[in-house]
Amino acid sequence: MNNNIYIITFIDVFRNVMTRNEIFQALARLDRFKRSSSSSINDIGEFYIKGKELRKSLEKMFVYGMDWKFISLSLHLPVKPFDDVVVNSLQSGLNKYVAHSNVTLDSIKKAIEWVGSFQPETDLLSRVASHSELDTLIHLSTQYPQCDTRGALDNAANRGKIDMVKWLHFNRSEPCSTFALDGASSVGSIKVVEFLHFNRSEGCTINALNSAIQNGHLDVIRFLMDNRSEGFSSHPIDEASKRGRLEVVKYLDTRLGSTIPRICSMAAMNISAKNGHLPIVEYLHLNRTEGCNFLAFNGAALNGHLNVLEYLVNNRKERPSANVMINAVLANRLDIVKYLDGIKVGTDYYKKSMDEACTRNYMEIVEFFHGTGTKCSKNAMVGASRNGHLGMVMWLHYNHGDDLLDVKSDAVDQAAESNHLEVVRFLLINRPSSTVSDSTRRLIQRSGYYTHIADFLNNHTTTAI
């Protein structure tokens, strides 16, 4: 055993100045992106902020849910007394602080004591039920009995907080809604589901069983089907299959079988194949009669699931559509391309498939089609030029030049308008048939963005490189 192995820790990495700077720069870039895409000022607590900036603002420390000890040391508290104007201005931030998931009850008590007054907002306890612990909810409900807990039980149930659900049920009179049982079912909290069913009268909707099926909560599914009558939407096996919930598929099939119409459709196998859920594809094949269609094969190829594709070909009577080969190319899966070639599927689309591979710069696949004697169309050169794949453009010129004599201005125009100078240079110098259309020349002349291409075109000679 080597006792000299040194384990690199986060501190070791963080001590490196370059690494540390890169981390902070990445955080700053992420923060700028999140701020630019945020639609609500209420999202501020999700943004990155430097400690030196945070320490300057009590409001920001409230929003970010800092420990009260950190706040008091940062601002050298206490600083008193406050007048009513200052106290009122702190109330919004204090309400955010009280409902923050990081803030303990001890910090809440100290913050309220320091401010000297607290005016709970109408939905405060509802937010506390979502983000905080039971002791905080009990304290606020006791100290501020005027606070309305409407919505609190719904939110607690949606987060599977059984102790909070029980406390609200036995200690508060505000009602909940069907959202409570629906939400508890969605997150798979069987204890909350059972409690609400046996102790509340609000009930649920079909969303309860639908979401339990989608999320794979088998114990909740069993309970709801045994004790509730709301049921589910059509094709529940489709939903379970799509998400790879094999045990749920088995349970629904065993329990319901063919006794209920619209329990399953061929979409179940189609989507399972597309998503690569081979065990579900196998189960549906062996136990259900809905079957599948070409979408199962094509979807498996598109998403790179060779094992699923092989199973379908070997066990099903259905077959993929002819353009399945294009899907294999889109997935950049040479193994699937070779497999389809081996079973002679998609041969009518070899040319289009090769064009697509050239456009996407998938050289291994291009060379495979080349080896089969496949000829490409001008779309191959045009697509490679548009995307700036100089190596592919050169390969096509030297290996399929005779097939591409009809490529005139198309490729150069696409390369120029996409600002790929090296491709433009290669095409104009090495392919006599290549030209630049008048419309592209006018575009380049009008725009200040294509200056290097404009300079090249103005000084272009026909000397080969």
What is residue 463's predicted lDDT score, i.e. its pLDDT? 38
CATH number at residue 225: 1.25.40.20
What is residue 44's predicted lDDT score, i.e. its pLDDT? 47
Count of CA atoms in the C-beta half-sphere (13 A) of 90: 21
Same domain, 167 and 104: no
Nearest to 53 by CA among 43, 42, 64: 64
Among 233, 267, 301, where does a domain finish?
Answer: 233
Q: Are 62 and 94 in contact (CB under 8 A)?
A: yes
What is residue 462's predicted lDDT score, i.e. its pLDDT? 45
**Cα dihedral value 346, 347, 351, 354, nearest 10:** 60
Among 206, 233, 260, where does a domain finish?
Answer: 233
Q: Are 392 and 385 in contact (CB under 8 A)?
A: no
What is residue 151's predicted lDDT score, i.e. its pLDDT? 94
Q: Give CA–CA dist 168/348, Å, rounded.
A: 67
Q: Residue 149 domain-assigned?
A: yes
Same domain, 152 and 207: yes
SS3 31: helix
Q: Where are the alpha helices (DSSP H) in 231-317?
A: 236-242, 246-256, 267-274, 278-287, 294-302, 306-315
Same domain, 127 and 220: yes
Q: Residue 88 domain-assigned?
A: yes
Same domain, 95 and 192: no
What is residue 207's predicted lDDT score, i.e. its pLDDT? 97
Among 233, 248, 279, where does a domain finish?
Answer: 233
Same domain, 66 and 103: yes
Q: Residue 388 domain-assigned?
A: no
Q: Give CA–CA dist 445/276, Å, rounded.
A: 50
Same domain, 85 and 106: yes
Q: Which residues span the domain enclosing 205?
A: 123-133+145-233
Evaluate the omega torsion of the peptide bond into residue 78 and state whether it is cis, within 30 degrees of 0. Answer: yes
Q: Residue 376 domain-assigned?
A: no
Same domain, 149 and 213: yes
Instruction: Mark the ranges of the chain whose per-residue pLDDT is less than 70.
Output: 1-6, 31, 33-51, 77-83, 461-465
- Enclosing H/E stretch for 456: helix 451-459
Q: Residue 394 domain-assigned?
A: no
Q: Give CA–CA dist 351/403, Å, rounded.
A: 12
Same domain, 106 and 129: no
Q: Residue 357 domain-assigned?
A: no
Q: Residue 153 domain-assigned?
A: yes
Backbone angles phi, psi at 143, to 5 degrees: -75, -25
Same domain, 86 and 150: no
Q: Give CA–CA dist 382/465, Å, rounded.
A: 21
Q: Are 202 and 178 in contact (CB under 8 A)?
A: yes
Q: Are 322 and 293 in contact (CB under 8 A)?
A: no
87 to 91, 92, 116, 140: CA distances (angstroms): 7, 10, 8, 19
Q: Give CA–CA dist 41/59, Å, rounded.
A: 14
Q: Residue 152 domain-assigned?
A: yes
Domain count along the chain: 2
Same domain, 85 and 149: no
AA letter at 455: D
Same domain, 90 and 149: no
Same domain, 154 and 227: yes
